[in-house]
Structure 1
Amino acid sequence: MGSGVVEGGGRTPSHLLYSVAVEYYLQAATQAEIASRLGTSRATVSRMLAEARRRGIVHIDVRPPSAGADADLSEAVADALGLVEVHLYPDVPADAASGVLSSALSGPLAAALATADLGVGDVLLVSSGRMAYAASRAELPALPGVLVVPTVGGQLEPEPWYQTNEIVRAFAAGVRGSPAFLYAPALPGEALHAGLLDDPGMRRVADAWEVARAAVLGVGAPPAQRVSLPRFVPAQSAALDRAVGDLCSRFYDREGRPVDFPGSERLIATPLGVLRRIPVTIAVASGPEKVVSLLAAARAGYFNRLVTDVTTAAMLVAAAS
């Protein structure tokens, strides 16, 4: 067809390589479209593009994400939600191995914890949930002498991310602190609940909630959008229809007001009002399903720092405006 394409071992003219490169890289033409115009095969077009790169006609520049852009986005989220700080990590694929998420959380979570300036004898609360579980396996800063305390019971839950004592054990090992355990289900029966109120171990944990200096908190999505819920939560209860999320298994609505469910008066968990009084509260959450719950909890003052991924951060700014 007189295209000027040299098949086989011949040398393709540079002007033709340039033309093909412009169409493909700058005009978004497909290789099939270019091949049709030239009257040749797609494989030949692919070889021409490779040749254009070898001859220096095409330069491909792969750059790391801009730290400045992330800093601007962090500041925008903090302003939109009224937070002290926001720490971002790159998006992690939903099907990535659990260790990938833990690794991504390491730097931002360490930076957020550093602002708490925790020392010997200070109390650090840690909640349950998938993100808290991943955080407990991240590379954490050394905080020797810090007491790591669970925010909610969970002895009867089979999923590892609801086993609060195991999350606390791993977190304490990561920061080189000391764990305090809560040997109680999140929602005990009436008789057990009455006994737990007088239990010395339970009192020690409840007292620690009141004097905590920092907390690392997973944020739950609206119940209807959850992949899983703790077994004690009555997922079909109409009482939870207003809930947009939870912290420490304490549910709240769009205005951040507590949402009770049958039996929640027996819940062994840090009250939402207590979270407001803790100096450094770090929410660790990501995903489009968490946007509404994060907005409500931030505006209610349940956390004042956030660790999230870049996409969720952008969605939060858009939703807040």
Structure 2
Amino acid sequence: MDARENQALDAVKLYYEAGLSQSEVAERLGLSRPTVSKLIQYGKDRGYVSIRIHDPREAESSLAAELREVFGLRDVRLAVVPENGTDLVGQLGKVGAAVLAENVNDGDTVGVTWGQTMYSVARNLSRQERSGVEIIQLKGGVSYTTRVTNDFETITLFCNAFGAFARTLPLPVIFDSVEVKRLVEAEKHIQRVIEMGRDADVAVFTVGAIRADAMLFNLGYLSETEKAGIAARAVGDICSRFIDDDGNACVPQLDERTVGITLGDLRGIRTRLLVAGGEDKVAAIEAALRSGYATHLVIDAATAGQVLRATQQRAAS
């Protein structure tokens, strides 16, 4: 370690462990208070500090218990979102990162998708003391437009957190033709990454909504005719595979052109963490849970209530 790293470690220990103020740390180390402030931030950025807030509202609620019972989930955590609904994705990311860290062990392979929610999970991951972890990209993520998926940034942050090696799919998620997609998937490296995705120990994923500004609709993969057909049949997407109200792939001509694990592959993974929220995703989340795609769930309370009501209405009809 260089001198700055050593100073940062001294500063964060005095500040967080000894409980000294920044002025007291500055006096102890013979530095200015602004320098100490920068060293503390540097230490946090380097992963020397991990701050965990244990909010009982995230797990200890009747809503979480009902979700576990109705959908047979192993664990449900509620992201606490301000009443004005701001920073939903940020709060989902914070709780999602904490739940993921609890479920990754030494030697695990972790399958990861992409999107705004997954990028939020990645940004909220702190450094974990794990060894032998590998991060597997579960679907292609190259965009044909200026809209970015942050797939590379997401994978990189996951690897930094777990000290892991990345297995990536540097490809579009949907190809123009089945023939080209099959040819690409036959390449040994691509074939191996997809196989590793199928065999992953943990998968962390979200669901996409069906709306004009949805990310998957704006990456240059789909024609206007295809978008209209999807909107008429699908309630959302999982791993960029469009699902109907029963959780089944419902656009076969696109499914055949999609690069990554299948919905059946996802169901076969031991631990499947779904991180999702928002009114526009209620139908997709409810279909995903009812179809058994998740074993663990991170969701906000407002969306959770709507999901349960949707299931109750279905049962009553």
Give the TM-score taking structure 2 as reference length.
0.71
1:90 to 80, 88, 93: 80
Q: Which residue of 2 aligns with 1:220?
A: 208
Q: How many residues matched?
A: 253
Matches of residues 2-41 of structure 1 in structure 2 within 5 Å?
Answer: none
Amino acid in the other structure paired with 2:64: S
Give the 3-state SS of the residue equivalent to 2:140 in structure 1: coil
- Runs of 5+ unmatched residues, structure 2: 1-53, 313-317
Q: Which residue of 1 aligns with 2:222?
A: 233
Q: Which residue of 1 aligns with 2:97?
A: 109
Q: Which residue of 2 aligns with 1:274?
A: 265
- 8 Å contact 2:89–2:116 — kept in the other structure? no
Amino acid in the other structure paired with 1:133: Y
Q: How far is 1:290 from its partner?
A: 1.0
1:307 paired to 2:298: yes
Distance 2:194 2:306 in 1: 36
Give the 3-state SS of the residue equivalent to 1:307 in structure 2: strand
Q: Which residue of 1 aligns with 2:132?
A: 145
Deviations 1:172-219 (A, max 9, x none): 212222211112111234464243123222012111022111111011
Deviations 1:219-248 (A, max 9, x none): 111346737623213454343111001111
1:206 paired to 2:201: no
* CA RMSD across the alignment: 2.8
Q: How far is 1:264 from its partner?
A: 3.2
Distance 2:242 2:60 in 1: 31
Distance 2:76 2:59 in 1: 13
Structure 1 or 2, whichever has the larger Rg, is: 1
Give the TM-score taking structure 1 as reference length.
0.70
1:167 paired to 2:157: no
Amino acid in the other structure paired with 1:186: V
- 8 Å contact 2:113–2:239 — kept in the other structure? yes
- Runs of 5+ unmatched residues, structure 1: 1-63
Distance 2:55 2:101 in 1: 24
Amino acid in the other structure paired with 2:270: P
Amino acid in the other structure paired with 2:120: A
Q: Which residue of 2 aligns with 1:39?
A: none
Q: How far is 1:308 from its partner?
A: 1.1
Amino acid in the other structure paired with 1:286: G
Give the 3-state SS of the residue equivalent to 1:259 in structure 2: coil
Identity over aligned pairs, percent: 25
- 8 Å contact 1:157–1:163 — kept in the other structure? no
- 8 Å contact 2:112–2:203 — kept in the other structure? yes
- 8 Å contact 1:81–1:295 — kept in the other structure? no
